[in-house]
């Protein structure tokens, strides 16, 4: 399995991205030496694609598959792509506050700590549907790790398309998110332009 071992803050700096979108509170004190250089149109498009891939933790081939699926759906391909990425189980776990970072959310899912509609799902890319109930497995709710996570993520805002009960470590998906409520700093139109060449 391919693993991205580049330090998170270094990657955020190169993509001109705030680490808070990944769940990290740290900020890099260094500045990007190439920040003021003029970028070509292709470089801007590529950077937006890399930004989206890095935020959601998706590799190139699955990302391309998401784009193809988004293109086949009704509506704009860019908005459909963002909604598909937002519906990933690891992202929903992160948004609900059951993990501190997106990487930790992926790990929590892989370790079979999450159930969807009462069944254990250990696939981070599993697409959530409207009405699905996502819970932390009852057997692991009392683990100190989840108590710590609950304290740290208590102040985090939960998106309006999700309904979360922090005490029971459970939540449900009210509806699919619209592009307006997805707070990820990615210009999806540049990704569409890149793939439509």
- CATH number for position 147: 3.10.290.10
Residue 184 domain-assigned (yes or no): yes
Q: Are residues 121 and 138 in the same domain?
A: yes
Residue 93 shares a structural domain with residue 166: yes
**41 and 109 both lie in a single domain:** no
Element containing residue 163 per DSSP (H, E): strand 162-165
Q: Are residues 108 and 42 in the same domain?
A: no
How much is the pLDDT for 138?
87
Report the SS3 class of residue 183.
coil
Please give the distance of CA 45 from its chain centroid, rounded to a whole number. 20
- Is position 162 within any domain? yes
pLDDT for 34 equals 60
- The three-class DSSP label of residue 127 is strand
Written as six digits, the tokens of 75 are 């509506």
188: domain range?
Answer: 8-29+36-85+180-195
Q: Is there a domain that residue 3 lies in?
A: no
- Residue 95 shares a structural domain with residue 168: yes
Q: Is the pTM of this model over 0.75?
A: yes
Q: What's the confidence (pLDDT) of residue 31?
A: 67
Please check whether residues 93 and 168 belong to one and the same domain. yes
Is residue 151, in this structure, part of any structural domain at all? yes
Q: Are residues 122 and 148 in the same domain?
A: yes
CATH number of 64's domain: 1.10.1050.10
Please name the residue that has the structure tokens 């069944």: 119
H helix runs in the chain, sequence order: 8-15, 41-56, 60-72, 77-86, 89-96, 102-110, 144-152, 188-195
Angle between helices 77-86 and 188-195 (to 10 degrees): 110
Task: Dump pLDDT digits (tens) for 103-148.
Answer: 999 999 999 999 999 999 999 999 999 999 999 998 888 888 888 8
Could you say which residues of the chain have pLDDT below 70?
1-3, 28-36
Residues 190 and 148 in one domain: no
Whether 169 and 100 map to the same domain: the answer is yes
Q: How many angstroms separate the Cα of 126 from the Cα of each of 20, 44, 55, 95, 133?
A: 24, 30, 17, 15, 13
Residue 175 C-alpha from the chain's centroid = 17
The count of structural domains within the chain is: 2
Asked if the structure places residue 114 within a domain, the reply is yes
**pLDDT attached to residue 37:** 75
57 within domain boundaries? yes
pLDDT value, residue 84: 95
Query: What is the pLDDT, as a whole number, of residue 191?
Result: 94
Are residues 93 and 80 part of one domain? Answer: no
Identify whether 1 is part of a domain. no
118 shares its domain with 157:
yes
Between the alpha carbon of residue 75 and those of residues 70, 81, 102, 129, the distances in Å are 9, 10, 28, 18
Q: What phi, psi does 41 have (nearest 5°)?
A: -60, -40
């Amino acid at each position: 399995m391919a693993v991205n071992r580049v330090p998170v803050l270094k990657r955020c700096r190169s993509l001109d991205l705030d680490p808070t979108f990944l769940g990290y509170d740290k900020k890099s004190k260094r500045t990007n030496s190439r920040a003021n250089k003029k970028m070509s149109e292709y470089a801007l498009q590529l950077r937006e694609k890399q930004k989206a891939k890095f935020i959601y933790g998706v590799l190139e081939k699955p990302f391309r598959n998401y784009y193809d699926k988004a293109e086949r759906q009704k509506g704009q391909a860019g908005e459909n792509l963002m909604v598909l990425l937002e519906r990933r189980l690891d992202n929903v776990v992160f948004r609900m506050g059951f993990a501190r970072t997106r990487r930790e959310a992926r790990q929590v899912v892989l370790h079979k700590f999450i159930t969807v509609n009462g069944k254990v799902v250990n696939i981070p890319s599993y697409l959530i549907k409207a009405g699905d109930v996502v819970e932390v497995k009852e057997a692991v709710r009392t683990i100190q790790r989840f108590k710590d996570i609950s304290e740290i993520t208590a102040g985090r805002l939960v998106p309006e398309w999700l309904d979360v009960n922090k005490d029971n470590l459970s939540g449900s998906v009210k509806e699919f998110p619209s592009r307006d409520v997805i707070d990820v700093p990615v210009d999806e139109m540049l990704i569409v332009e890149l793939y439509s060449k």
